[in-house]
Structure 1
């Protein structure tokens, strides 16, 4: 059944309470590869509760799962096959440092629905606030393959120019064979990342890593490499998911430093540096 665009755009915002603890933060950090070497003081900021700093990308799983992809499919007017759903991009604006533990209200609404011809693009915005005020705002860009073609607005298509010159820093980050199995325990149980049969039906040779895991690994690399490990300096972080990552591969992360901004490009070193993340920007203090 095709998308009912009018019903999707008229959908009411949905709110609910979310909560998280230090254990959730620790599990998330391990899921994006923190803790290597295990006794490194820089890594202990992510893995030891007595000195814990929260990487802002934890916001994408706070409360037990991604606020965009799965919940977006339950929006009135959408009936989509999970095997044909792709997370196309993610942005995050941090209003205050994410606390180690908390309870907050998450309010999600449809911020856009665009007709890309062979797919529909749903933009789901989630605002999270606690008793002290706004915490973060996240936008998930969700592609529904085969659901376009109803004659709707194609949406914005402009993309930033690629960074110029040689990167200021380049780091390689290995992805463990069991990385997706560990990361999914933070809430995204989509079988695409664990079940070979499901991955094959979706057109992949084997399960792929969560895009949001790559998103977190990349932000950690930027924070550790260019921001002195200070997670509270991150103001916003946006990316476009340009390609897949298979567990066991190595990410090559290139960084270009600007005034209050880091531009980033991520590729899969094992596959002739196939693009993984593009149009990636970290704004910081």
Structure 2
């Protein structure tokens, strides 16, 4: 069996040094649609609020940048860890959570310590749980928890793992926005470090069971957090404490995301994302943004 759960969990932590600068941040922001026109910002390319994502003299960092800082080496390393040998065509992103310990600086170097705390047996699939802790000279920056879904790798009798599902509020969303995913969005987003050909190569996509390349789940993840920050958090990226989601379905470049948001507590926003062009097929589910009331 390609996955040896016990060996993967017992393996020594993988340590890597990463670095980023303003250009990496700007490229990531462009990859999730910064500067593109929306209903709220028809002139987004020169909108003062939007320039905080694209212009180096005004730049701030959307917390989901943590998923690509250092080209996402924690996930890449996890898929090549001891006990893990999987077919890339069978791999899908299952869930993602980022916990921020302080705002991400505009440039920096840091050390990532990555482990595999669990491998769950879902019967016809396995879920590899990856955790990485990132810190710089001033202390912890963020913790990333990733779940990788590997089709065809379950059935060894292991623990199924938790199944946390959130009920939707029984009222209309506080805000609903749409975001167009450009036809070339995946080609731009992959320049931030996710080179999986599933998102660019039609022939590889067919091998994976899709008619055409699909958008990176983490691109939808970033698009969604930006929408929440811009509409319910006053554009203040520093207010985000944590951001978690479950990837419930695929997005094809050229489609439109419908993003529904509920403020369910003073410091908690629940979000559901669907593909508006496919009768609101699910995209992101069990999605929560926890935030501070004001800038820390």
TM-score class normalised by the smaller sequence: over 0.9
Question: What CA RMSD, in Å, does the superposition of the two structures yield over aligned residues?
Answer: 0.9
1:20 aligns with 2:20: yes
CA shift, 1:66, in A, is 5.4
Report if aligned partners of 2:9, 2:115 keep a CA contact under 8 Å in 1.
no
1:197 partnered with 2:203: yes
Matched, 1:163 2:176: no
Q: How far apart in 1 are the matches of 2:275 and 2:78?
A: 28
Q: Quote how far apart the aligned CAs of 1:65 are.
A: 2.6
Q: Which runs of 4+ in 1 moved over 6 A?
A: none
Classify the secondary structure of the residue corresponding to 2:244. strand
1:60 aligns with 2:29: no
1:163 offset after TM fit, Å? 2.7
Q: Give the aligned partner of residue 5 of structure 1.
A: 5
Q: Is the 8 A contact 1:60 1:66 kept in 2?
A: no
- Partner of residue 71, structure 1: 77
* Contact in 1 for aligned 2:98/2:145 (Cα 8 Å): yes
CA distance in 1 between counterparts of 2:147 and 2:169 reads 23
Kindly provide the CA deviation profile for residues 220-252 of structure 1, in whole angstroms up to 9, marking residues without a partner as x. 000000000000000000000000000000000
Match 1:174 to one of 180, 197, 206: 180
SS in 2 for 1:87: strand
- The alignment covers a number of residue pairs equal to 284
CA drift of 1:72 comes to 1.7
Q: Following the alignment from structure 2 to structure 1, what is the Cα–Cα distance between the partners of residues 138 and 2?
A: 42
TM-score (norm: length of structure 1): 0.98
Q: Unpaired runs of 5+ in structure 2?
A: 37-43
- Residue in 2 that maps onto 1:206: 212
C-alpha separation in 2, matches of 1:136 and 1:4: 28
Cα deviation digits, residues 130-175 of structure 1 (max 9, x gap): 0000000001100111111000111112322223211000000000
Residue by residue over 1:65-95, the C-alpha shift from the partner in whole angstroms, topping out at 9 and shown as x without a partner, is 3532x32210111111000011001000000
Q: TM-score, normalised by structure 2?
A: 0.94
**Partners of 2:26 and 2:169 in 1: how far apart?**
33
Aligned residue for 1:237, secondary structure, equals strand
Query: 3-state DSSP class of the match of 2:159?
Result: coil
